[in-house]
């Protein structure tokens, strides 16, 4: 009878005990003492009257309740604020990543456009043995921008 060697859980004293618990109680001094103490406490609680606080205490009690409610509300506000900022931060990260991706693609597209324009200009210059001053300046400007774009691209990579 192993379960007979186990003490009865104190919380069980308020309920109807099982047969095995009753047989343990009859043979265990420790549980009998606990049971007696529990019965005494229960009897005292029944006799006790609920005392109301002194009249002057009620405002303090109401204030304490209101303060704890306010505290809870402000804590919830803080949690919500934190959640909102975390969500915003994640959204911002995604936006930034998307923007970087798009701007990189745009840069590459611009670079391709410029290369094409440059090739066209060079072709025109070859056909036109004496290029005008403005045409020559345009080519050098395009080449300069091309160089900057290439540098920016290689820096990104």
Residues that bind Zn ion (CB under 5 A): 7, 28, 30-31
What gap in Å lies between CA 63 and CA 14, rounded to an integer?
Answer: 36
Q: Which residues contact 143 (CB under 8 A, 6 or more apart)?
A: 118
Minimum distance, C-beta of residue 44 to Zn ion, in the bound complex (Å): 23
- Whether 105 and 113 have beta carbons less than 8 Å apart is answered as no
CB of 28 to Zn ion, least distance (A): 3
Nearer to Zn ion, 9 or 109 (CB): 9
Question: Could you tell me the smallest distance in angstroms from the CB atom of residue 7 to Zn ion?
Answer: 3
CB-nearer residue toward Zn ion: 34 or 146:
34
For the CB of residue 31, give the shortest distance to Zn ion in the complex, in Å.
Answer: 3
Identity of the residue, 12 or 143, whose beta carbon is nearer to Zn ion in the bound complex: 12
Instruction: For the CB of residue 22, give the shortest distance to Zn ion in the complex, in Å.
Output: 12
Distances (CA, A) of 104 to 23, 146, 156: 83, 15, 8
Cβ proximity to Zn ion: between 9 and 57 the closer is 9
Q: From CA 120, how far away is CA 139, in angstroms rounded?
A: 10
Is 110 in contact with 149 (CB distance < 8 Å)? yes
Inter-residue contact 5 to 14 (CB < 8 Å) = no
Place of tokens 């919830």: 76
Nearer Cβ to Zn ion, position 25 or 114?
Answer: 25
């Amino acid at each position: 009878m192993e379960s007979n060697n186990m003490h009865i859980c104190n919380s069980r004293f308020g309920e109807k005990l099982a047969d095995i618990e009753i047989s343990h109680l009859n043979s265990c001094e420790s549980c009998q003492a606990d049971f007696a103490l529990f019965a005494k406490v229960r009897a005292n609680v029944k006799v006790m009257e609920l005392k109301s606080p002194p009249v002057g205490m009620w405002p303090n009690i109401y204030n304490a309740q209101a303060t704890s409610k306010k505290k809870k509300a402000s804590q919830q506000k803080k949690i919500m604020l934190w959640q909102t900022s975390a969500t915003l931060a994640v959204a911002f990260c995604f936006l930034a990543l998307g923007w970087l991706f798009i701007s990189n693609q745009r840069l590459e597209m611009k670079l391709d456009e410029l290369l094409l324009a440059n090739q066209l200009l060079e072709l025109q210059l070859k056909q036109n043995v004496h290029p005008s001053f403005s045409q020559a300046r345009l080519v050098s400007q395009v080449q300069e921008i091309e160089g900057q774009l290439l540098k920016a691209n290689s820096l990104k990579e």
